[in-house]
Amino acid sequence: MGGLIGVVMIVKDEEDKLRACLDSVKNIVDEIVIVDTGSVDKTVDIARTYTDKIYSYPWQEDFSAARNFAIDKCSCKWILSLDADEHLETGAGDLRVLITDTASEAFFIPLKNCISPSGSDFNEIGVLRLFRNLPQYRFFGKIHEQISITDQELVRFSNYPVIIHGYIEPGRRQNKRRRNISMITEQLKRQPENQEFLKYYLGCEWLELGKYQQAYECFWSAYNKLDSTHIFFRSSVIRNLIACLRHMGKFEEALTLCMRETEVYPEYTDLFFDGGVVLEQMGEYEIARRWFKIAIDLGTPCILYQHSNGTEDFLAYYHLGHCCQTIGKSEEASQYYQAALQHNKNFIYPLYGLYMVLATRESCEKIISYFSKQGYIESYESRQALGQLLFASGRPDLAVKVCMQAEGLTMLSCELAKYSLYSGNFKQALDVLQKLKTGSQQNNAEILKTEILAYIFMRDISTAQVKCLEMWRHQTMRAEALSLMALIKRLEGRQQTHITKYEPGFVEHLLNIMADCLRSYSEDSGVFIHVAKCCEELISQFEEGSRTLFAFWQREIKGVEMLLDIRYQNMRGLYSWKKRGP
């Protein structure tokens, strides 16, 4: 044989991902073998800049056949199998040291499957992708193909190298799911002897498509057939069964499964985390806290188990914070939210809870300063989240400042235009909107609505009317255009004509405008108050609108009550306050 390590890949139309994959391995392997199954883009041209071992293979709806063809073309002693949307991280250890002077013939290595564009959210599993180039080691299965090694003494687990599977856009992912379902269903007919594994993979596809009953039936079938010798598949099946039961609202069944299987796998962090989430959904916050603390104490599970990043730290801390906040332990909640952010500052959800706790005792300005010093708002997403919270708190002016602190660069967005608008800076709002109205953004409903409201607040009614007519031309925006035209008529003292077809959307759009006006912060508050009153008058014309208004004011009152309750929690027991209504 030639060198020590060869990378083998099958590709098709991967011009946007292939280069990153090959750059990650080109300096650590001796050979790169690429088998193309019918690309029509620049995939093959890119591949030629890295290797001359490029082969064509007619696609036969069989991943194993294509991969095995690639292995046959490799001359190295060891095979590393990769996909084009993956790349290798070798920083944790030397790949060559791992496979030199070893009696092992294959390694399970970590694969991190990114579930968010940032890459900070991922699931981790162990995959058999590194093995000796021997005739008996070939892939089987037309889809979700695997290498089968009967003598487990020859297989080891390693924490390196790590394969990173890149984030796949939702549309592309959904198309792959439907293709996979068709292929697995056909394979089930031809290979009933592998039913438990095929049912597992089929369940994964249904789960990702949100078909929970179908997924549950597949996982349950696999669960009843898999034993302890297939620990990875069995542990993953258990977690997926719990997910299905949670989505179907069967919390007691999910909890029973968690309790039973944590007895079997007492070291499996993710099961305790899942149990905590189930208990949280059942309203059992104190017990849920104990489960989340166990997950934290256990730490990252071994590679044998399917693992979701964060169940051992930031996710568990976040849920601990939520449980504490819900039962009135706001100081403890604050500590857990901060612990979550310390472990992962890209995980923005603790920001919401921490903000709510701090808002009961600190000014908005002090909260911004504190978040900034702690490094909580360095990312675009975190600044966006804080902007939303500040706007909801009635400080759109501060929301503007947060959105314009992106290392000196303004975050041009519809949100920035909205915050500028409700802080009374109408011209700045229009300037942002004008910059946004390019290309595909030109017919964005939110941009058009914000632009019309800007002219309404500037009392430029004639321009607002012209913009409303432009909006009306778009079939999907007619309910919103109608609500804005009705608002203009009411501001002019005229009555709106009878509305039937667009009534539900009409009420919803006007309620949103009214709510936003209530959160304005400007020296010229009169125009916002006037618009809000006109919206309320228009909504109350309808029976359903009156009910919607009543529900809205109830939510607003409850929000105030909650803040008062947290702020004055030390005085509980010194007074009794009977709240009216349900």
pLDDT per position as a tens digit, 338-357: 999 999 988 999 999 999 99
More confident residue, 121 or 64: 64
Range(s) within the chain of domains with CATH label 1.25.40.10? 174-398
Please state the rounded mean pLDDT for residues 465-483: 90
Q: Roughly how many angstroms between the first and final C-alpha of the chain, as a whole number?
A: 78
Does pLDDT of 285 surpass 70? yes
Residue type, position 217, single letter: E
Beta carbons of 133 and 6 less than 8 angstroms apart: yes
Range(s) within the chain of domains with CATH label 3.90.550.10? 5-168
Beta carbons of 80 and 7 less than 8 angstroms apart: yes
Tell me, what's the pLDDT at 219?
96
pLDDT band at 485 (very low <50, low <70, confident <90, very high): very high
Please state the rounded mean pLDDT for residues 214-238: 91
- How many residues belong to the chain? 582
Among candidate residues 277, 278, 273, 281, the one with its CA nearest the CA of residue 306:
273
Q: What is the mean pLDDT of the chain?
A: 88
Tell me, what's the pLDDT at 507?
87
Does pLDDT of 426 surpass 80? yes
Does pLDDT of 437 surpass 90? no
pLDDT band at 408 (very low <50, low <70, confident <90, very high): very low
Tell me, what's the pLDDT at 231?
84
Least confident of 1-5, 126-130, 340-344: 1-5
Angle at 276 between CA 273 and CA 281, to 5 degrees: 130
Class of CATH domain 5-168: alpha beta
Angle at 174 between CA 173 and CA 176, to 5 degrees: 65
Least confident of 420-434, 465-479, 482-496: 482-496
Share of the chain above pLDDT 90, in %: 61
pLDDT band at 1 (very low <50, low <70, confident <90, very high): low
More confident residue, 221 or 91: 221
More confident residue, 156 or 177: 156
pLDDT band at 93 (very low <50, low <70, confident <90, very high): low
Residue type, position 38, single letter: G
Beta carbons of 511 and 540 less than 8 angstroms apart: no
Beta carbons of 107 and 291 less than 8 angstroms apart: no
pLDDT band at 579 (very low <50, low <70, confident <90, very high): very low
Reduced to 3 states (helix: H, G, I; strand: E, B; else coil), residue 32 is strand
pTM to 2 decimals? 0.80
For the stretch 23-76, pLDDT in tens is: 999 999 999 999 999 999 999 999 999 999 999 999 998 999 999 999 999 999
Among candidate residues 315, 312, 289, 311, the one with its CA nearest the CA of residue 299:
312
Tell me, what's the pLDDT at 17?
93
For the stretch 507-545, pLDDT in tens is: 889 999 999 999 999 888 899 999 999 999 998 888 888
For the stretch 535-564, pLDDT in tens is: 999 988 888 888 888 888 888 777 766 655
Does pLDDT of 570 surpass 80? no
Tell me, what's the pLDDT at 333?
96
A 10 A CB-CB count for 564 gives: 12
Beta carbons of 22 and 54 less than 8 angstroms apart: no
Residue type, position 31, single letter: E
The CB-side HSE value for 199 (13 A sphere, CA atoms) comes to 20
Superfamily of domain covering 174-398? Tetratricopeptide repeat domain (1.25.40.10)
